[in-house]
């Protein structure tokens, strides 16, 4: 099942369409579409406060296509339909339930609406993206997007950041699971016979440790001399107690 990452920029009434919407696939395909802030049929924009209208105009200065809400919906539906053309459906990852709700609202007026609703699987990454590590990775990704002319609060920049955060944290989680099964981890576990030690050690191995120069033990053990540095650091941590 193909996977894509969703983000929206949404300024205006809750019952209106998102200002801009972006989807990026695992393979690198990108979809970005935005509303034409001057479209006469978008009454919710005309009724917005001056502050909201100013932000809409600023958003339009970014790269993207200016369209009506119907054109925005059709372009998004077509992209998702092509992504899931093999009949396996599409996995849509998002960092806020509001983005998912905005996508559903966007798709309602399209011919593919019912078909896409049945094919899309939602993956809520809200709890993942609020961690300190995720916030730091997101900031790095948004900074890199500026080289493409994508300013902050841009839906495409946010979708690219969400994909990067998810990829990196998922890979780190996979490495941790593999490490927990390794001989190196069992060597560390054998240092203490307290039943509380192994659960604590699992958390410690995945954290950035100042005494290791900010590195994670799980990343160091495979490097030359890394296991010795981790053992020394762990011995100091044990002397100081743990909980």
Give the pLDDT band (50/70/90) at residue 145. confident
Out of 3.40.50.620, 3.30.420.10, 3.30.460.10, 3.30.70.120, the CATH code matching 3-173 is 3.30.420.10
pLDDT at position 46: 47
Residue range 166-177: mean pLDDT, rounded:
88
Asked whether residue 73 carries a pLDDT value surpassing 80, the answer given is yes
Q: Tell me the domain boundaries of the chain.
A: 3-173, 183-239
The rounded distance, in Å, linking the Cα atoms of 45 and 121 is 31
Taking 3-state DSSP, the helix, strand and coil percentages for the chain, each rounded to the nearest 5, stand at: 55, 15, 30
pLDDT at position 15: 54
Most confident of 33-47, 89-103, 130-144, 207-221: 89-103
Among candidate residues 220, 224, 232, 227, the one with its CA nearest the CA of residue 184: 227
Sorted by sequence, the CB contacts under 8 Å of residue 161 that are 6+ apart come out as 7, 137, 138, 141, 142, 145
Give the pLDDT band (50/70/90) at residue 172. confident
CA distances from 110 to 32, 107, 202, 214 (A): 17, 6, 48, 50
Give the pLDDT band (50/70/90) at residue 242. low
Give the pLDDT band (50/70/90) at residue 229. confident
pLDDT at position 125: 94
pTM of the predicted protein model: 0.73
Asked whether residue 215 carries a pLDDT value surpassing 70, the answer given is yes
The rounded distance, in Å, linking the Cα atoms of 166 and 70 is 31
pLDDT at position 37: 54
Residue range 152-178: mean pLDDT, rounded:
87
pLDDT at position 179: 84
């Amino acid at each position: 099942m193909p996977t894509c990452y969703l983000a929206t920029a949404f300024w205006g009434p809750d019952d209106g369409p998102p200002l801009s919407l972006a989807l990026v696939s695992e393979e690198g395909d990108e979809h970005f579409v935005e509303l034409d802030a001057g479209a006469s049929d978008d009454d919710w924009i005309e009724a917005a406060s001056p502050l909201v209208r100013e932000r809409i105009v600023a958003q339009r200065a970014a790269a993207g296509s200016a369209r009506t809400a119907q054109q925005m919906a059709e372009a998004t539906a077509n992209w998702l339909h092509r992504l899931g053309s093999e009949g396996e459906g599409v996995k849509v990852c998002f960092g806020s339930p509001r983005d998912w709700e905005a996508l559903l609202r966007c798709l309602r007026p399209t011919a593919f609406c019912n078909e896409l609703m049945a094919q899309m699987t939602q993956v809520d990454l809200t709890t993942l993206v609020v961690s300190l590590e995720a916030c730091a990775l997101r900031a790095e990704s948004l900074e890199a997007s500026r080289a493409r002319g994508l300013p902050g609060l841009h839906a495409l920049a946010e979708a690219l950041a969400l994909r990067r955060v998810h990829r990196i944290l998922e890979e780190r989680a996979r490495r941790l699971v593999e490490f927990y099964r390794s001989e190196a981890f069992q060597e560390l576990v054998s240092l203490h016979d307290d039943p509380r030690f192994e659960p604590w050690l699992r958390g410690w191995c995945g954290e950035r440790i100042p005494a290791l120069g900010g590195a994670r033990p799980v990343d160091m053990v495979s490097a030359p001399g890394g296991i010795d540095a981790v053992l020394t650091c762990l011995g100091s941590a044990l002397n100081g107690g743990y909980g």
